Amino acid sequence: MTELNPLKVVVFGLGYLGATHAACMAELGHEVLGIEVDQLRREKIADGHLPFYEPGLSELLRKHLASGTLRVSDSYAEAAEWGEVFFIAVGTPQKKGESRADLQYVDSVVEQIVPLMNRDAIILGKSTVPVGTCRRLTDRIDQLANDGVHVELAWNPEFLREGHAISDTLRPDRLVLGCDPGGRAEKVTYQVYSRIIDEGVPFLVMDTASAEIVKAAANSFLATKISFINAVAEVCEASGADIKQVADAIGYDDRIGSKFLNAGLGFGGGCLPKDIRAFQARAGELGASSAVGLLREVDFINMNRRTRMVEIARRACDGNLLGKRVAVLGASFKPESDDVRDSPALNVAGQMQLQGASVVVYDPEAIDNSAKVFPTLDYAPTAQEACAGADLVMVLTEWKEFSRLNPTQLGSEVRKKAVVDGRMCLDRRAWELAGWNYLC
Ligand SMILES: NC(=O)c1ccc[n+]([C@@H]2O[C@H](COP(=O)([O-])OP(=O)(O)OC[C@H]3O[C@@H](n4cnc5c(N)ncnc54)[C@H](O)[C@@H]3O)[C@@H](O)[C@H]2O)c1
C-alpha cells in the first residue's frame, strides 16, 4: 500500500466535472483550491450550494469546505503561488456554427496560469479535447514559462457520467494518462490517485495523442451503439418485430453487452453530441475519412429520432397537433441530472409547440434550467398537474418516478388516454390494461 502523500491540488473550472473533481480530490486526502471565473457559481459553491443537481455532491462539497481541505477562489495568482498539481476542467463546447470544439477556455487557463508560475509544476488536462491539443499547448507553455521553471503538461481525460459523478471519480473503470516519457507527470499522477490505484483501478499510461483519442473514441463508441440500436428499431417497426426483445437477446452476447442498447429518443447532453462532432471534425482535418462518414451517420440517425418522435405524437393526436394539449414528462437529457444541454426531450417539446400544441413540461430536477432555455413552454410542478386535461402524455426522460406512475390514477387526470413511451421505460402491459393507447 502506497503511503498517502497529500498534494496541493488546483482545479480550474467548477462545472459538473470540476466541482466533482475538486470535492473528490479532497475526499482522496488532498488539499484543494477550486478556481472559478463565474462569480455567481463561485459564491454558491463556496457556500456549499451546487448550481446543478448531482446526487451526493452537495454533501461531499460541504464536508470538505467545512474542514477547510477545499477552498474556492478566482485568483490565478493565489493558485500559482500555492498549487503543486493543476487540473484543467473548463468547458470545451461546440464552436458556434462549426463541428469543432471551442478550445478558448482551455487555452485561456494555460495563458493565464503559466506566466505566474515560479516553480516547476504539473498541469493535467481533464477537459475533453481534440487529438493534438496537448502537443500544441506544450509548445505554447514552453514559450510562456518563466526562465528556469519547468511546467509539464499531460492529459488525464475524464469518463464520469452525470448522475454517477462521485462514484465514477472515486471508483472509475480505469484512469488514463497521456504524458511524455521521462517527465514527472506519471509519478505525480500516481501520487494523486494512489489510494484508488491501490484499490485496483487500472492506471493506463500512454502518449498524449492516444489519451486524447481514448476519450473521443469511448464517447463515439457509446453514441454509435445507441444509434445502431435505433437504426435496428426502424427495421423492427417496419417489419412488425419487437425491438425490446431483439435488443435483450443480442445483449446476452458478451461481445455486444446489454448496456446502451435501449432504443428510443437517442442521446443528447453536454458531451456525446459535441464530442462526436469534434472527433468527426478532427478526423476530417487529419484525412481519416472512415471515421468522418461513420460519425456523421451516427449523428444523423440520432437527430432523426427527435423528428420521428414528433411524428409519433402527431399520429397519436389524429394527425394534427394544433390545439392539442401535450404533457411532456422529462426535460433533462437523462435521469438523475438537471442538465438540459442539447436535451432531446426539450427539443421534441419545442418542435411540438411550433406545430401548434400546447405543451406542459414536468421534470423532477430540470424545470429551472429548462425554463431558461425554453421560456415559452409551460411547466408544471408535478407529473399529475402536467397531465391534467392532456390529449397525449409523452415520457421523454427515463426518471424512475415515471416508470412508477400509476396508469389507472393518471387515466382519470387526462382527456385522452394516449401515451408515447419515448424511452421504453414504462410497463406496456400495465398501461394497456389501464385502457391506455400505448405507443413507442
Ligand atoms: N459533464 C460531464 O459529464 C463530463 C464528463 C466527462 C468529461 N467532461 C468534459 O469536461 C469539460 C467540462 O465540462 P463541464 O460539463 O464540467 O462544463 P461546464 O460548462 O459545466 O463547466 C465549465 C466551468 O468552467 C468555468 N470556466 C471557464 N473558463 C474558466 C477559466 N478560464 N478559469 C476558471 N474557470 C473557468 C465556467 O465558468 C464553468 O463553470 C468538458 O471538456 C467536457 O467535455 C464533462
Which pLDDT score is estimated for 182? 87
State the cell numbers at 290: 472512415
Ligand 1 geometric centre to CA of 91 (Å)? 3
**Is the alpha carbon torsion for 389, 391, 396, 402 positive or negative?**
positive
Closest Cα to atom 43 of ligand 1: 128
User: Which residues are marked as active site?
Assistant: 271
Q: Where in the chain is the domain with CATH 3.40.50.720?
A: 8-206, 220-439
**Angle at the Cα of 231 from the Cα atoms of 227 and 232, rounded to 5 degrees:** 120
Pocket test for ligand 1, best of 271, 277, 279 (most atoms within 8 A of CB): 271
**pLDDT in tens for each of the 440 residues of the chain?**
555 689 999 999 999 999 999 999 999 999 999 999 999 999 999 999 999 999 999 999 999 999 999 999 999 999 999 999 999 999 999 999 999 999 999 999 999 999 999 999 999 999 999 999 999 999 999 999 999 999 999 999 999 999 999 999 999 999 999 999 989 999 999 999 999 999 999 999 999 999 999 999 999 999 999 999 999 999 999 999 999 999 999 999 999 999 999 999 999 999 999 999 999 999 999 999 999 999 999 999 999 999 999 999 999 999 999 999 999 999 999 999 999 999 999 999 999 999 999 999 999 999 999 999 999 999 999 999 999 999 999 999 999 999 999 999 999 999 999 999 999 999 999 999 999 999 98
The three-state (H, E, C) secondary structure of the chain, written as one string: CCCCCCCEEEEECCCHHHHHHHHHHHHCCCEEEEECCCHHHHHHHHCCCCCCCCCCHHHHHHHHHHHCCEEEECCHHHHHHHCCEEEECCCCCECCCCCCECCHHHHHHHHHHHHHCCCCEEEEECCCCCCCHHHHHHHHHHHHCCCCCCEEEEECCCCCCCCCHHHHHHCCCCEEEECCCCCCHHHHHHHHCHHHHHCCCCEEEECHHHHHHHHHHHHHHHHHHHHHHHHHHHHHHHHCCCHHHHHHHHHCCCCCCCCCCCCCCCCCCCCHHHHHHHHHHHHHHCCCHHHHHHHHHHHHHHHHHHHHHHHHHHHHCCCCCCCCEEEEECCCCCCCCCCCCCCHHHHHHHHHHHCCCEEEEECCCCHHHHHHHCCCCEECCCHHHHHCCCCEEEECCCCHHHHCCCHHHHHCCCCCCEEEECCCCCCHHHHHHCCCEEEC
Ligand 1 geometric centre to CA of 220 (Å)? 19
Phi, psi of 260 (to 5 degrees): 60, 25
Which pLDDT score is estimated for 414? 97
Which pLDDT score is estimated for 2? 56
Closest Cα to atom 28 of ligand 1: 105
Report the C-alpha gap between 275 and 281 in whole angstroms.
10
> Cα-atom radius of gyration of the chain, to the nearest Å?
24
Sole residue written with cell 467548477? 14
Which pLDDT score is estimated for 239? 97
Ligand 1 geometric centre to CA of 341 (Å)? 13
Its pTM stands at: 0.94
The ligand 1 atom nearest the CA atom of 112: 31
CATH level 3 topology of 220-439: Rossmann fold (3.40.50)
Class of domain 8-206: alpha beta
Report the C-alpha gap between 94 and 262 in whole angstroms.
26
The ligand 1 atom nearest the CA atom of 108: 31
Closest Cα to atom 20 of ligand 1: 15
| Pocket of ligand 1 contains residue 50 by CB under 6 Å | no
Which pLDDT score is estimated for 5? 81
CA distances from 169 to 19, 161, 301 (A): 11, 9, 31
